[in-house]
Amino acid sequence: MLTQDLFIHHVYFWLANPESKEDHAALLAGLEALAKVPSIQQFHIGVPASTNRDVIETTYQFSWLAVFPSREAQDEYQDDPLHLHFVATCKHLWKKVTVYDSIAAY
Question: Per residue in 4-20, pLDDT tens?
Answer: 789 999 999 999 999 99
The pTM (predicted TM-score) of the whole model is 0.92
Are 86 and 45 spatial neighbours (Cβ–Cβ below 8 Å)? no
Looking at residue 1, the DSSP 8-state letter turns out to be -
Distance between CA atoms of 84 and 34, rounded to whole angstroms?
Answer: 9
Domain that holds residue 30: 16-103
Domain for residue 47, yes or no? yes
| Tens digits of pLDDT across the chain (106 residues) | 456 789 999 999 999 999 999 999 999 999 999 999 999 999 999 999 999 899 999 999 999 999 999 999 999 999 999 999 999 999 999 999 999 999 988 7
CATH of the domain at 77: 3.30.70.100
- Look at residue 6 and tell me if it is in a domain: no
User: What are the C-alpha distances in Å from 10 to residues 21, 71, 91, 103?
Assistant: 23, 14, 17, 12
The count of structural domains within the chain is 1
